Amino acid sequence: MRIDTDRWAEILITITRNKTRSLLTAFGVFWGIFMLVALMGGSQGLQALLSAEFEGFASNSGFMATSATSKAYKGFRKGRAWDLEISDVERVRHSVPEIDIITPTNARWGMKAVFGEQSHGCTLKGAFPEYGLIEDPDISDGRYINELDVKERRRVCVIGQRIAESLFTDGASPCGRYIRVNGVYYQVIGVSQSSGNMSIQGNARTSITIPFTTLQQNYNFGNRIQVLCYTAKPGHRISEVEQKIEAVVKRAHLIHPDDKQAVMRVNAEALFSMVDNLFRGIRILSWMVGLGTLLAGAIGVSNIMMVTVRERTTEIGIRRAIGARPRDILTQILSESLVLTTLAGLSGITFAVLILQLAEMGTGSSFQISFSMALLACFILAVLGMIAGLAPAYRAMAIKPIEAIREE
């Protein structure tokens, strides 16, 4: 394929000749594509940062706890305190078939973990192995609690990453060592590196997880449980399932069915959905703002090209008179529009990528647009460049040589 170097040289000379006008025109396209890429990359990075707050939690999970009643019911007064019980786990499991996983957790706050001369404040959490399917412990060293630990009430623990870094400063593996938590010794069997900030009975990085039965025995919880954790089977929503769970629990504990205060619920599925919907709206808004700005820039290109064609009426007429075909005039004007739009657009994309690169430094999240998004932006530039040059090109094609010479 032969490249017409003379034509492209002529296009570049024409653009260079009208420096001020070309720069003003290019700025509109530059700013439009910059806004589009920066907004899309920024929204993607912010979504990644916010999603990291929920890292490790099952997206179809829910949690339930108790509060004082707000209505009198069956002889019980208003304001009665009550607790969930171990028996509620099996009761709900058999009454609500849509439940996939259901497990209780208890916790003690304001605890202090000690190893040698080092100490760190922590939350002591009691859990069953199934809880690892709801909040992923992301074990980096050792293992998580198993059924045998629960059955034998072993004094073993899984520690959070921050506790491991604070207590074990020698860099060796904490597994197999013993730490003291408020006077009770536990053997470390695993280290969790879960980094999410969503907190259910303590942040994972500063929590120590032990078998549920061990916590139950050591701190006299009896049959009481503080939080009931559950996930729904595929095809079922937590918002539907938790209503059935609440009804079963209220019936078992003689709570008024319409008491809205007695049961506290956290729907992680709703939180994930809210974040997704929020950033879906932000992406749509980003496209609208970016494309609107880009379209304004393309209209500017079209207007400038119209002025350029008017100023070059005589030149175009002479070219027509010496044998230039309408197609040649059309190609020249479209090429000038396309080159101007593309150069400005690629500069905008490059600048936006640099800004996004600076924005993501130290955040641990990617603010960069994907390669396919960059290709789509280039395609949009090419299309707008062609559209912007159509009206000036047809105006140039309509110029008749005799009229152009007479005008001169």
Max alpha carbon distance in the chain (Å)?
106
Over the Cα atoms of the chain, what is R_g?
34
Q: Which of 324, 325, 342 shows the shortest CA–CA distance to 388? A: 342
pLDDT at 312: 65
Phi and psi of 180, rounded to 5°? -110, 125
Please state whether beta strands 118-127 and 207-211 pair in parallel, antiparallel, or not at all (unpaired): parallel
**What is residue 2's predicted lDDT score, i.e. its pLDDT?**
44
Which among 274, 196, 266, 176 has a CA at the least distance from the CA of 229? 266
Give the separation between CA 148 and CA 152, rounded to whole angstroms: 6
The pLDDT assigned to 108 comes to 92
Q: Could you state, in order of their start, the residue ranges of all structural domains in the chain?
A: 5-53+273-407, 61-267
Q: What is the mean pLDDT of each run of 10 residues along the chain (408 residues)?
A: 49 51 64 78 75 69 91 88 92 91 92 91 93 87 93 94 90 90 93 76 87 92 91 87 91 90 86 78 79 73 68 66 69 72 78 80 69 76 72 66 55
